[in-house]
Structure 1
Amino acid sequence: MDTVWAVPARLDRSLGDDVIGYEVEAPDGSVGTVVRLSSVPGFGHLVIDAGTWKFGRSVVVPAGMVAAVDDAERVIKVGCTKDQIKEAPRFERDQDTGDLFYLRNLGTYYESLTAAP
């Protein structure tokens, strides 16, 4: 993976506004629905409304965690589990996704998941 913030090159696509409303699935089940995308250059990420799964909270997943996009089914598959997403630095629903301190902490967390053991 080049960076946790970039869509993996093997997907051969970018994530544009066309994915808003797509369901997000982890290997162990549904995470929620994409409600926003990053507007911060160099920090590509999805803001996901996790609904009741996260007590009405939104969660943020960096674009580099995207494993597949199925446009026909309107589903984005991520390469991390629901528990790993739950353990990520907390994102408040009204928080500015341009908060660089938050994004750096989030990036460090997700990079630790992709590091070789």
Structure 2
Amino acid sequence: MNDVWAFGQDSGHAVGQPLTGFSVEAADGVVGHVERQEDTPGMQHLVVDTGVWKFGRSVLIPAGAVTAVDAGAQTVKVAPSRDEIKAAPRFETDSETTDHGYLSEVGAYYLSLRASH
């Protein structure tokens, strides 16, 4: 997980593989499902609809937080816990997916989680 904005080589994610609709799972439970994904190099991330556990809001999860993709089961496993994802910088609108200030804040947050594990 060298780059927070890129899928790890051992994640099982194939370049161009669509993940929309896949279930997103942390070690402590389901986070939600992939609403959208961004595959631009250096900006790869998932927008995840968290459903009812987070009051129906979406969260942005950098691709570097993905630990495994299982195409058969249509699941994406992520390293952070549900509480860590809940505490991430709030995702409000799609315009934030191109806002470098917001992306820097999100990237720094997920990098700090990596350092603490």
What TM-score, normalized by structure 2, do the two folds share? 0.90
Contact kept? 1:39, 1:98, Cα under 8 Å: no
List runs of 5+ in structure 1 lacking aligned partners: none
Alpha-carbon shift at residue 9 of structure 1 (Å): 1.3
Q: CA RMSD in A?
A: 1.7
Is it true that 1:74 corresponds to 2:63 in the alignment? no
Contact kept? 2:23, 2:74, Cα under 8 Å: yes
**Poorly superposed stretches of 4+, deviation over 3 Å:** 12-17
Cα distance change of structure 1 residues 49 and 16 upon mapping to structure 2, 3 Å threshold: farther
SS in 1 for 2:90: coil
Alpha-carbon shift at residue 11 of structure 1 (Å): 2.6
Q: How does 1:19-98 map to 2 (within 5 A)?
A: 19-38=19-38, 40-92=40-92, 94-96=93-95, 97-98=97-98
> Equivalents in 2 of 1:3, 1:23: separation in Å?
23
SS in 2 for 1:21: coil
What TM-score, normalized by structure 1, do the two folds share? 0.90
Alpha-carbon shift at residue 102 of structure 1 (Å): 0.6
Q: How does 1:99-110 map to 2 (within 5 A)?
A: 99-110=99-110
Cα distance change of structure 1 residues 78 and 32 upon mapping to structure 2, 3 Å threshold: same
SS in 2 for 1:11: coil
Cα distance change of structure 1 residues 61 and 31 upon mapping to structure 2, 3 Å threshold: same
Contact kept? 1:20, 1:36, Cα under 8 Å: yes
Alpha-carbon shift at residue 14 of structure 1 (Å): 3.4
The aligned length equals 116
List runs of 5+ in structure 2 lacking aligned partners: none
Cα distance change of structure 1 residues 11 and 64 upon mapping to structure 2, 3 Å threshold: same
Identity of aligned residues (%): 48
- Which residue of structure 1 lines up, in the alignment, with residue 114 of structure 2? 114
